[in-house]
Chains A and B, each alone.
Chain A
Amino acid sequence: MNDAVNDAVKAGPLLTMTGMTKQYPGCLANDRVSLTVERNQIHALLGENGAGKSTLVKTIYGVVKPDAGEIIWEGQKVSIQNPGHAQRLGIGMVFQHFSLFEALTVTENIALGLGSAEERVGLRDRIIRISNEYGLPLDPDRVVHDLSVGERQRIEIVRCLLQNPKLLIMDEPTSVLTPSEVQKLFVTLRRLAAEGCSILYISHKLEEVRALCSAATIMRLGKNVGQCVPAEKTVKELAEIMINMTLHAPTPRPLTASVKPPRLVLDRLTIRSPHHFGTDLKDISLSLAGGEILGVAGIAGNGQSELMDALSGEVAAGKPESILIDGVAAGHMGPHERRRIHGCFVPEERNGHGAVTTMTLAENAFLSGFVRQALVRFGVINTRKTSAFAENIIKRFDVRTTGPKAEARSLSGGNLQKFLVGREVLQDPAVLVINQPTWGVDAGAALAIHEAIMALAEAGAAVMIISQDLDEIFVLADRIAVIAGGRISAPVLKRDATVESIGRLMGGTTATAAAPGEMALA
């Protein structure tokens, strides 16, 4: 190749894809999709869940073989055989679902992804250097099993950066980061782009996309539906192209004065984590009235899952009186008994925790509904009533599925989440606790879930939302508290809170934990 051609190639786009088509059994995931990523560009790929973004990027990364289509990488036509091939070309990817071995340490996990022994020399030091450089704190010697979702994602990001890629694909990277971490990541990404590594950025957070990305390709139902410069559009406009309907943003709730009696009270809740590197809950005191929504913000891995387990009854609290539901000491109760006294819960992980993916929707409706819906008589399951309950959830929450007999795994993330939130909301709870209500959920489903939560509070339930998405918390919550290092800060009214003040608390530096015994704003 002579120099003139070489220059021409360098001037051209880094990656051009045309006519990409992929047929899955029963679903045309990509239908003649085109994508062009320029050099030094941060390019957004937008679309609802199920729009075909994941299939397209998996094609680039060599995980999925396209049925048709042409890929031009640095001016050369290529057929990407497998992820190893993609990496040799200079393509790195951070997946939304992590591929980590839970029993191994951070360093061991990263070492496993490397090709040769030479690459492993000094690996631990390089991990520390890169994680410090890019603001992704990571202890290389910790076992993945004990790490939070946020920390696991950092491993994946560092793993890619170690390879010095020319194109970095990031699938929903910020959903587990604090605002300041997001800002740091953006600094990292902008620097990477300036240094010659283009970035293909998949996100639902349109505000982020507008701030970060210089170009966007929008997909819907497996097809291209638009290209734009995100900064030139409003969030609303972007969302409307994405889901092809006019959006009505939820009106922020009027603040309710909490004069009603508390429905959920936590009194010096203290639990040692059973895991080595888990977070201990320390002296958590809160009071939540009916009709109120409390948002608990925080960075992943600061005790959110421990708090969720303690509230749902999967882990017993130290003292029975440390958790009161409608005045009943529930600390030693199991999940059944808490449901009996009107407590309902939606855990963070849908697959295998909130739902059994290989079971039908009817069976999943039964999972947490059989107590309050009285779906069992003399130990025998009332199939008809169970099916009717599932049908009701599907109808009321507009779950897109073939019916109660569909397996949970056949639903998209957003639809399954709607089903799981619906399952709890329709049980008429006095107290509803939701961990990450809309993680990995498309805009349409997120809106539906937010509306359901607000309607439930309107009807008199006490709702606690544990979320790493500050936008979500500011939309929904009446009061906001922050969990950091297993402690919870005194809740503040939303009108007194700013993203900056909450963000500082999330960092844990100036955390003023609620003093033991002090009931915050009863």
Chain B
Amino acid sequence: MLKIEARGYESKFWRYASPILALLLTGATSGLIFVAMGRPAGLTVYTFLIAPLLQQDGFQALVVKAAPLIMMGVGLSLAYRANVWNIGTDGQFTLGAICGGGVALAFPDAPAWALFPTMLVVGTLGGMASGGLVAWLRIRFNANEILTSLMFAYITQYLLVYLVTGPWRDPEGFGFPQTALFSDNALAPRLIEDSNVHIGVVLAPLIAIGLWFMLEKTLLGYQFRVLGQATRAARFAGFSENRLVWIAMLISGGLAGMAGLLEATGTLGQLTTTLSPGYGFTAIIVAFLGRLNPLGVIPAGLLLALTYLGGDAAQINLGLPNAVTGIFQGILLFYLLGCDILLLNRFRWVSTQAKAVR
């Protein structure tokens, strides 16, 4: 008989081994699904996780995809550590792109030194405003941020659809739901010429390191951690819960807004209805896969970015539906949360016979 038994302490080994186990289980399970769909399992996993990196510029594509995921994942790990459950980063991402993109559309001829930095600030502020609204609703009306932030994600998505099919639609765009292309001055600066590798690729890990330092080494970060683990102890110490909820929502919202703006100006060069292929929701998986540790979020972001590329590759090479990306990510989150039982518990094989003899 298999028995689950409390360890009585948190296992250091499983703290790091549990996400790896989750990955292996995800690989095995998705392999089974592919077999059921009549594809050889090995080939599919290869197509998904290895082939994209072997393509020309595969690595560049990977870091560009990973940048927004890391930015948002870092913000989320901070918020989640404080028990602030912002799950609407997708909306904050979109609003950041809308606000910053609006600036680009209004002042296409502004000089380069002014336009992009302004857009970056306005985009970040847009995300902060969206996050701040959620914080205000929680503090003022005790409204659950899980619900409000998710609802705002949908509202923002429809706002984007309205703008790009209505007032902001490109008159010369043959009726496609998209804005005019941003002027060159409005595009995110490139690190490598003639590529999509934009400034966000460096910003994301720098932000991760900065917030790791903040969370682990500063008084503010300590306050987040105490609040997340014991609300009453935070009150006893004199930390204001409301203030921390505000800061957590503003940081996670602002980073999402910045990521959205960088995505719009770094890879798309315009606003379209398909601005975010669910980046905000994938960032939740990134945060958990990274153990809610900003440094862990960096490899986690790269891995999830790979699943996006792999999904494209599987679609093109194997004719699988694009939904496999979502399935893969969903299975991963499932196993991630499931494997965490090993942190505080262990499995033990108890022989029923041996027990009877005793």
Partner-B contacts on A (CB < 8 A)? 24-26, 68, 312-314, 334-337, 339, 345, 347, 349, 352-359, 363, 366-368, 370, 376, 379-381, 383, 407, 409-410
What is the bound-complex CA distance between A359 and B228, given in angstroms?
A: 11
Per-residue 0/1 for B237-254: is the Cβ within 8 Å of any A Cβ (1 yes, 0 no)?
110100000000000000
Least Cβ distance of A2 to chain B in Å? 28
- With A and B bound together, what is the CA distance between A366 and B218 in angstroms? 12
Contacts beyond the supplied A352-B233, A356-B226, A359-B225: 18 A-B pairs with Cβ under 8 Å: A24-B8, A25-B8, A312-B236, A313-B238, A335-B235, A336-B238, A337-B238, A345-B236, A352-B231, A353-B233, A354-B233, A356-B229, A356-B233, A357-B229, A367-B226, A367-B233, A380-B218, A407-B10
Known contacts A313-B238, A356-B233; A370/B219 CB under 8 A: yes
Q: Measuring CB to CB, which residues of chain B are less than 8 angstroms from any residue of chain A?
A: 7-10, 217-220, 222, 225-226, 229-233, 235-238, 240, 358
Chain B residues with CB under 8 A of A349: 232
Q: Complex: how many Å from CA A26 to CA B235?
A: 34
Q: Which residue of B lies closest to A386 (CB)?
A: B222
8 A-B contacts (beta carbon < 8 Å): A314-B235, A349-B232, A354-B233, A358-B10, A367-B237, A368-B236, A380-B219, A381-B218
Contacts of B240 on A, CB cut-off 8 Å? Answer: 334
A47–B64 Cα distance when bound, in Å, is 63
- Distance in angstroms from B236 CB to nearest chain A CB is 6
In the bound complex, residues from chain A placing their C-beta under 8 Å from that of B218 are: 379-381
- What residues on B are CB-neighbors of A352 within 8 Å? 229-233
**Bound Cα distance from A352 to B234, whole angstroms:** 9
**Interfacial chain B residues near A26, Cβ < 8 Å:** 8
A376 x B219 contact (CB < 8 A):
yes
Residues from chain B with Cβ under 8 Å of A347 in the complex? 236
- Whole-angstrom distance between the alpha carbons of A380 and B217 in the complex? 6
User: In the complex where A314-B235, A314-B236, A353-B236 touch, is A366 in contact with B222 (Cβ < 8 A)?
Assistant: yes
Return B351 CB to nearest CB of chain A, in Å: 13
Nearest CB in chain A to that of B221: its residue: A381
B45 to chain A, nearest CB (A): 37
Interface of A is mostly: mixed
A146 to chain B, nearest CB (A): 16
- The docked-state distance in angstroms from the alpha carbon of A381 to that of B222 is 9
Contacting residues, chain A, for B226 (C-beta < 8 A): 356, 359, 367
Please tell me if the beta carbons of A25 and B233 are within 8 angstroms of each other in the complex. Answer: no
Least Cβ–Cβ distance between B80 and chain A, in angstroms: 15
In the complex, what's the smallest C-beta–C-beta distance from B223 to chain A, in angstroms? 10
Nearest Cβ distance between residue A21 and chain B, in whole angstroms? 10
Q: Which residues of A contact B235 (CB under 8 A)?
A: 314, 335
Q: B238 to A335, Cβ gap below 8 A? A: yes
Does A354 contact B236, Cβ atoms closer than 8 Å?
yes
Chain B residues with CB below 8 A from A336, complex form: 238
Chain B, residue nearest A407 (CB): B9
Residues in chain A near residue B229, CB distance under 8 A: 352, 356-359
- Distance in angstroms from B357 CB to nearest chain A CB is 11
Q: How far is the CB of B146 from chain A (nearest CB, A)?
A: 18
Residue numbers in B under 8 Å from A337 (CB-CB): 238
Nearest Cβ on chain B to A335's Cβ, whole angstroms: 3
Residues in A whose Cβ lies below 8 Å from that of B219: 370, 376, 379-381
- When C-beta atoms are compared, the residue in chain A nearest to B237 turns out to be A367
Find the A residue at minimum CB distance from B227: A356
Task: State A363–B231 Cα separation when bound (angstroms).
Answer: 15
A368 nearest CB neighbor, chain B only:
B237
Q: B9, A25: Cβ atoms under 8 Å?
A: yes
State in angstroms the CA–CA spacing of A312 and B232 once bound together: 12
Q: What is the CA–CA distance of A376 and B217 in the complex, to the nearest angstrom?
A: 10
Query: Which B residues are CB-close (under 8 A) to A24?
Result: 8
Q: How far is the CA of A355 from the CA of B219 in the complex (A)?
A: 17
Q: How far is the CA of A357 from the CA of B10 in the complex (A)?
A: 12
Assess A410 versus B232: contact at CB under 8 Å? Given A68-B358, A336-B238. no
A25 CB contacts on chain B under 8 angstroms: 7-9
A377, closest chain B residue (CB): B219
Contact B232 A363 (CB under 8 A): no
Give A312 to B236 CA distance when docked, in angstroms. 7
Contacts of B217 in A (CB 8 A): 380-381, 383
**Across the interface, which residues of A come within 8 angstroms of B222, CB to CB?**
363, 366, 381
- Chain A min CB distance to B232 (Å): 4
Q: Tell me the bound Cα distance from A25 to B231 in angstroms.
A: 30
Chain A residues near B9 (CB-CB < 8 A)? 25, 407, 409-410
Q: How far is the CA of A440 from the CA of B209 in the complex (A)?
A: 43
> Which residues of the other chain, B, contact A370 by a CB distance below 8 angstroms?
219
7 A-B pairs closest in CB distance = A335-B238, A336-B238, A352-B230, A353-B232, A356-B230, A334-B238, A356-B233
Least CB distance from B180 to A in Å reads: 44
Chain B positions within 8 Å of A379 at CB level: 218-220
CA distance A354 to B236 in the complex (A): 7
Report how far A352 CA is from B235 CA in the complex, Å.
10
Please report the C-alpha to C-alpha distance between residue A447 and residue B358 in the assembled complex, in whole angstroms.
42
CA distance A312 to B230 in the complex (A): 17
Taking CB atoms, residues of chain A closer than 8 Å to B236 are 312, 314, 335, 345, 347, 353-354, 367-368
- Shortest distance in angstroms between A139's beta carbon and chain B's nearest beta carbon? 25
